[in-house]
Amino acid sequence: MDFKNKLATILAELLGREISVTELELLIEKPKNPTHGDLAFPCFTLAKLKRKSPNLIAQELSEKINTPIFEKVDVVGAYLNLFLNKQAVSEQVVSEIITQKGNYGALAIGNGGAVTIDMSSPNIAKPFSMGHLRSTVIGNSLALIAEKCGYKPIRINHLGDWGTQFGKLITAYQLWGAAEKVKQQPIKELLALYVRFHEEAETNPGLVEQGRSWFKKLEDSDEHALSLWKWFREESLTEFSRIYELMNIQFDSLAGESFYNDKMDRVVQLLLEQHLLVESEQAQVVDLTEEQLPPCLIKKSDGATLYATRDLAAAIYRQENYQFVQSLYVVGHEQSLHFKQLMAVLTKMGFDWAKTMHHIPFGMMLKDGKKMSTRKGKVVLLEEVLNESIEMAKQSIEEKNPDLPNKDRVAKQVGVGAVIFHDLKNNRMNDIEFSLEDMLRFEGETGPYVQYTYARACSILRKGNWQADLFAGSIQPTWEKEWKIVSLLLEFPNAIKRACENFDPSQVAKYVVDLAQAFNKYYGEVKILEENVEKKARLALVYAVTEVLVEGLRLLGLEAPTEM
């Protein structure tokens, strides 16, 4: 059903194969105004080739195009405007969705290649805040979209479980901590200690030195330091797993920063062997002047390795273990320089696969227009937001549909879905202002709006006793009123492809909102359940909408209740 490709093939034939199908396909456009047709082909590029005016070429081509796919071909200046045959295309699209169900829109562009996705990556001993939501849900959606496109996604939670902050935390715990308090409320208590450390350090600089000293002990495998670190890590993972379960997100690997401690010497050795390490202010760096980047710091003057060393080790490990065809790092845009340096160093080391690595940056989650900060204690906890959202959804159900079966399950699907959708509907580079009220609205571009549309469509199917096998023998409508929906259903595979190629889940989120809006408009104008010869075909269209809506939501990491 790739009508762009079909048109390009027809044009290539008419032009005597002087220009390839691929080149022609790139020239074909989708008019913004549907009254200008379903596809448009500008003939300017052909003018030089044919030594004729583009207007004349358009006229000549229009007279030769004769295929049942198009019901009309208009010429407007140098443009061919083509209108698809509504009857034939609508029946084909709806039949295909009925047959393929959830597989509709699947693409084979990945050929089973592995895609590693470095995502979520919260810091141990710190709360899972709204700030970590973005990496988590963008990464999860990209994994689902990649899978839909034929890749094999590998979700990696690169936990922040190493670094100088642990020296600070151990210092704070030694000075002010109490084991009982930490056992009762691990993350809350550890956060309080971390915040207190930074407050006290402002007037007592000696604390920072103590923090460094404790981290050095940790690096040297000091027994006491290690036991505290392991305890903090286990408590954090227990808390994180509860939140991931709430969002229905799983990982293939929990290899965090500490996992690469014994893999960094090899990186340093490789850099030495290739004469890429140079000394700068007593530190070891890779010079990136040719790449117009600052030097990449590999080892500090005291011999300690850094983020870059660790990420180099992680990249090499992942390529050797997964043989990825793409490696994605879903990390905030403020880390852009770090990833440019990382990829530049790997390229200098002779690793060709470095060009398949992509930093997937995103904007910040704001509270009252300001960035949330763990260090200053200005943080909104994700679990609290999810629970509050579920509670608000539950209240809404009690008011509007108190007899709804599985109320708790539906409240969770709607509450969690609202938070995820609010993030993914935005272009990932935009900053997002946190607002629970906006997330949970049942109108506008929200998760609950799309979920409610799906539930409404499911209700129509139940009332109409929909059965797939009845569609083939039914009398079809003219598809005039249905054409807007059919055009959108036809567009679903393209929306998935765009989302995959641009690493942009908002393409799918915008798509499901458009489809939901078109369906609700149709529902308001057409009596779908009216007993007439077109009823079965219209129910088939409603069924096609439910299949695409539920699959679109799934690709974003949302569930869709059949009743709300």
Neighbours of 293 (CB within 10 A): 16
Rounded to whole angstroms, how far apart are CA atoms 95 and 448?
A: 28
Domain of 432, in residue numbers: 392-555
- Indicate if the pLDDT at residue 477 is higher than 90: no
Provide the 10 A C-beta neighbour count for residue 102.
13
Lowest mean pLDDT among 10-14, 319-323, 438-442, 539-543: 438-442
> Whose CA is closest to 158, among 307, 354, 353?
307
My answer on whether 62 and 199 are in the same domain is no
Which of 99 and 379 is assigned the larger pLDDT?
A: 99
Which stretch of 164-168, 379-383, 420-424, 445-449 has the lowest confidence by average pLDDT?
Answer: 379-383
Tokens standing for residue 491? 């567009």
427 within some domain: yes
Tokens of 34: 């549907």
Residue 450 sits in the same domain as residue 543 = yes
Alpha carbon distance, N-terminus to C-terminus of the chain: 34
- Name the band, by pLDDT with cuts 50, 70 and 90, for residue 56: very high
Residue that terminates a domain, selected from 61, 84, 107: 84
Q: Which of 67, 84, 101 is the last residue in one of the domains?
A: 84
Based on the domain organization, do 62 and 168 belong to the same domain? no
Residue at a domain's end among 62, 84, 106: 84
pLDDT-derived band at 70 (thresholds 50, 70, 90) equals very high
233-271 pLDDT, tens digit each: 998 998 899 999 999 999 999 999 999 999 999 999 999
Same domain, 404 and 531: yes
Residue 459 maps to a domain: yes
Are 410 and 524 found together in one domain?
A: yes
With respect to residue 538, please indicate whether it lies within any of the assigned structural domains. yes
Helix or strand run (H / E) with residue 154? strand 152-156
Same domain, 405 and 545: yes
pLDDT of residue 504: 97
Residue 339 covered by a domain: no
How far apart, in whole angstroms, are the C-alpha atoms of residue 477 and residue 479?
5
pLDDT-derived band of residue 435, with 50, 70 and 90 as boundaries? confident
Same domain, 423 and 539: yes
CA distance 524 to 96: 26
Q: Are 94 and 544 in contact (CB under 8 A)?
A: yes
List the structure tokens of 77: 């200046």
Tell me: do 435 and 550 sit in the same domain.
yes
Does 365 fall in a domain? no
- pLDDT for 377 equals 54
Bridge partners (DSSP) of residue 365 are 432
Does residue 37 form part of some domain?
yes
Specify the number of domains making up the chain.
3
Query: Is pLDDT above 60 for 515?
Result: yes
Q: What's the pLDDT score for residue 2?
A: 86
**412 lies in some domain:** yes
- Tell me the per-residue pLDDT of 181-228, one tens digit each, with 9 for 90 and over: 998 888 889 989 999 999 999 999 899 999 999 999 998 999 999 999
CATH number of the domain where residue 9 is located: 3.30.1360.70
539 and 447 together in one domain: yes
Cα–Cα distance measured from residue 305 to residue 4, given in angstroms and rounded to the nearest whole number: 53
Read off the DSSP letter of residue 19: S
Measured between alpha carbons, how far is 61 from 514 in angstroms, rounded to an integer? 34
Strands (E), 406-545: 432-433
Q: Are residues 493 and 402 part of one domain?
A: yes
pLDDT computed for residue 304 by the predictor = 64
What is the pLDDT at residue 1? 73
Q: Which of 509, 522, 519 is nearest to 554 (CA)?
A: 509
User: What's the length of the chain?
Assistant: 564
Confidence band, pLDDT 50/70/90 cuts, at residue 472: confident
Is 65 in the same domain as 180? no
Contact indicator for 80, 41 with CB cutoff of 8 Å: yes
pLDDT at position 188: 87
Portion of the chain with pLDDT greater than 90, in percent: 80
CATH number, position 433: 1.10.730.10
Q: Higher confidence at residue 368 or residue 520?
A: 520
DSSP H/E element including 297? strand 296-299
Highest mean pLDDT among 174-188, 470-484, 517-531: 517-531
334 vs 46, 339, 344, 364, 506, CA distance in Å?
45, 10, 18, 9, 21
Q: What is the DSSP letter of 252?
A: S
Question: Helices marked H in 1-117 — which ranges?
Answer: 3-14, 21-27, 44-50, 54-64, 86-100
247 close to 120: Cβ distance less than 8 angstroms: no
* pLDDT tens sequence across 372-406: 655 555 667 889 899 999 999 999 999 999 999 99
Q: Which 3 state secondary structure label does DSSP give 80? A: strand
CA 72/CA 61 separation, integer angstroms: 13
In this structure, the answer to whether residues 205 and 74 fall within a common structural domain is no
110 falls within a domain: no
β-pairing, 283-286 with 296-299?
antiparallel
Distances (CA, A) of 440 to 144, 177, 304, 329, 393: 24, 39, 47, 29, 7
Tens-digit pLDDT profile for residues 276-320:
999 988 899 999 999 999 999 998 877 666 889 999 999 999 999
Query: Taking all residues of the chain, what is their mean pLDDT, rounded to a whole number?
Result: 93
CB atoms within 10 A of CB 85: 17
